[in-house]
């Protein structure tokens, strides 16, 4: 990696667009509850999936009446956060819902078995126009004054690595917004790499995930209008149709990316949940979305949601392509 510098911007107020399309869907659907009483129901989906001692652990979200909360399942049964955590092994990372401050939340159980909570801003006031994140609610700044945001975290030997993007403040009808422009990988200290957008990019909405195999080999999922990721700084396009990559992992020498494609080149509904193994597409189900993946031996676990319309997404996971629905 190489150290790079970006142009400085002084930021007064920052209101980030929620580029997590699934969260946008949930918020939109729930905002119409009063207009559509028949649709006044909870909708949910799985975000992260881990398998330990033959137990399938899934964390995700539920949205009802405009309120988004974290949900946890163990072997397809709903459990509370404390019970879920007893199953989580050391050096495991999983995602939760956004919090009351609209921050994205990740939980990492470290080598000593202590939970480290990371929060990434999505719309509150910026801190002195600098990129920042929270660890256990303590504010930490990137060592420059560029405008941008951290989007995701990954770990290697208990050390956190981050990905996000630098952007430009632009006026809109609802106020100033941060427009994503330049994705980056950051080692949490002084080493920073910026990433070039692929020529197939139709619209850059940010970055979705990070996987660190070693300090010299990292993978970043990009929201560029086509399913893609960067291997270090080199973009890899998985499909020419509209799609998204939401998690990346490796098992042995095999690289897996999970997400969705849209066979009609739409970015709204009618997606197909899928994953790629070493670049080869494996479709799971139409009218579905996939967000998390875990590989154990020959078994491939994927979590996400199914539904034909925005207001009826329900959580599920697939084991080797066979779907298991999750209670709500």
What integer is the mean pLDDT of 165-169? Answer: 86
- Does residue 293 fall inside a structural domain? yes
What CA–CA distance (Å, rounded) separates 11 from 128?
7
Q: Residue 287: what are its φ and ψ, rounded to 5°?
A: 55, 50
Of all residues in the chain, what percent carry a pLDDT higher than 90? 66
Mean pLDDT of the chain: 85
What integer is the mean pLDDT of 48-75? Answer: 94
Where does the pLDDT of residue 132 fall: very low under 50, low under 70, confident under 90, or very high at 90 and above? confident
User: Is 80 exceeded by the pLDDT of residue 173?
Assistant: no
What integer is the mean pLDDT of 119-136? Answer: 74
33 or 56, which is more confident? 56
What integer is the mean pLDDT of 175-195? Answer: 89
- Does residue 177 fall inside a structural domain? yes
40 or 251, which is more confident? 251
Where does the pLDDT of residue 86 fall: very low under 50, low under 70, confident under 90, or very high at 90 and above? very high
What integer is the mean pLDDT of 210-216? Answer: 97
Q: Residue 230: what are its φ and ψ, rounded to 5°?
A: -105, 135
User: Is 90 exceeded by the pLDDT of residue 32?
Assistant: no
- Does residue 12 fall inside a structural domain? no
* Residue 17: predicted pLDDT: 32
The residue whose two tokens read 């790079």 is 4
Q: How many domains does the chain have?
A: 1
* Residue 130: predicted pLDDT: 77
- Does residue 317 fall inside a structural domain? yes
**Tokens found for residue 209:** 């995930």
265 or 57, which is more confident? 57
Where does the pLDDT of residue 99 fall: very low under 50, low under 70, confident under 90, or very high at 90 and above? confident
Q: Are 312 and 320 in contact (CB under 8 A)?
A: no
* Residue 103: predicted pLDDT: 87
What CA–CA distance (Å, rounded) separates 81 from 88?
11
* Closest-CA residue to 278 (of 219, 204, 198, 323): 219
Which of these ranges, 64-73, 78-87, 278-287, has the smallest mean pLDDT?
64-73
What integer is the mean pLDDT of 233-252? Answer: 97
pTM over 0.85: yes
- Does residue 294 fall inside a structural domain? yes
* Residue 125: predicted pLDDT: 47
What CA–CA distance (Å, rounded) separates 91 from 104?
20
What integer is the mean pLDDT of 198-216? Answer: 95
CATH number at residue 266: 2.120.10
What CA–CA distance (Å, rounded) separates 303 from 314?
11
Q: Residue 58: what are its φ and ψ, rounded to 5°?
A: -130, 130
* Residue 36: predicted pLDDT: 46
- Does residue 276 fall inside a structural domain? yes
* Residue 34: predicted pLDDT: 39
The range of the structural domain enclosing residue 199 comes to 21-325
- Does residue 199 fall inside a structural domain? yes
Which of these ranges, 32-36, 129-133, 247-251, has the smallest mean pLDDT?
32-36
- Does residue 10 fall inside a structural domain? no
Question: Helix and strand tally (H, E) in the chain?
Answer: 2, 25
263 or 9, which is more confident? 263
Across the strands, what pairs with 269? none
User: Is 50 exceeded by the pLDDT of residue 135?
Assistant: yes
* Residue 41: predicted pLDDT: 58
DSSP letter string over 61-94? EEEETTEEEEEEEETTEEE-HHHHHHHPPSSEEE
Q: What is the CB neighbour count within 10 angstroms for residue 131?
A: 27
Most confident of 41-55, 98-112, 160-174, 218-232: 218-232
């Amino acid at each position: 990696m190489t150290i790079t510098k970006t142009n400085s911007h002084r930021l007064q107020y920052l209101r980030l667009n929620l580029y997590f399309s699934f969260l946008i869907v949930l918020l939109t659907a729930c905002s119409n509850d009063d207009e559509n009483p028949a649709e006044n129901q909870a909708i949910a989906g799985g975000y992260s999936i881990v398998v330990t001692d033959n137990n399938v652990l899934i964390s995700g979200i539920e949205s009802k009446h405009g309120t988004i909360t974290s949900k946890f399942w163990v072997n397809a049964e709903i459990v509370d956060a404390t019970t879920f955590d007893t199953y989580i092994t050391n050096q495991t990372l999983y995602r939760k819902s956004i919090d009351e401050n609209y921050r994205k939340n990740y939980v990492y159980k470290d080598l000593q078995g202590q939970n480290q909570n990371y929060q990434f801003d999505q719309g509150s006031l910026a801190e002195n126009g600098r990129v920042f994140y929270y660890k256990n609610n303590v504010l930490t700044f990137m060592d420059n004054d560029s405008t941008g945001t951290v989007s995701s975290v990954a770990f290697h030997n208990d050390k956190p690595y981050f990905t996000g993007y630098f952007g430009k403040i632009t006026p809109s009808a609802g106020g100033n917004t941060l427009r994503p422009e330049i994705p980056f990988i950051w080692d949490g200290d002084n080493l920073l790499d910026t990433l070039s957008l692929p020529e197939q990019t139709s619209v850059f909405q940010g970055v979705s995930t990070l996987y660190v195999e070693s300090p010299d080999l990292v993978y970043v999922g990009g929201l560029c209008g086509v399913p893609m990721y960067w291997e270090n700084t080199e973009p890899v396009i998985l499909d020419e149709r509209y799609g998204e990559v939401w998690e990346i992992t490796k098992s042995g020498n095999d690289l897996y990316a999970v997400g969705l494609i849209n066979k009609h080149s739409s970015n709204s509904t009618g997606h197909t949940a899928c994953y790629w193994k070493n670049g080869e597409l494996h479709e799971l189900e139409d009218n579905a979305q996939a967000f998390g993946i875990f590989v154990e031996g020959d078994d491939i676990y994927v979590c996400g949601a199914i539904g034909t319309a925005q207001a009826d997404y329900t959580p599920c996971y697939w084991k080797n392509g066979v779907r298991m629905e999750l209670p709500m």
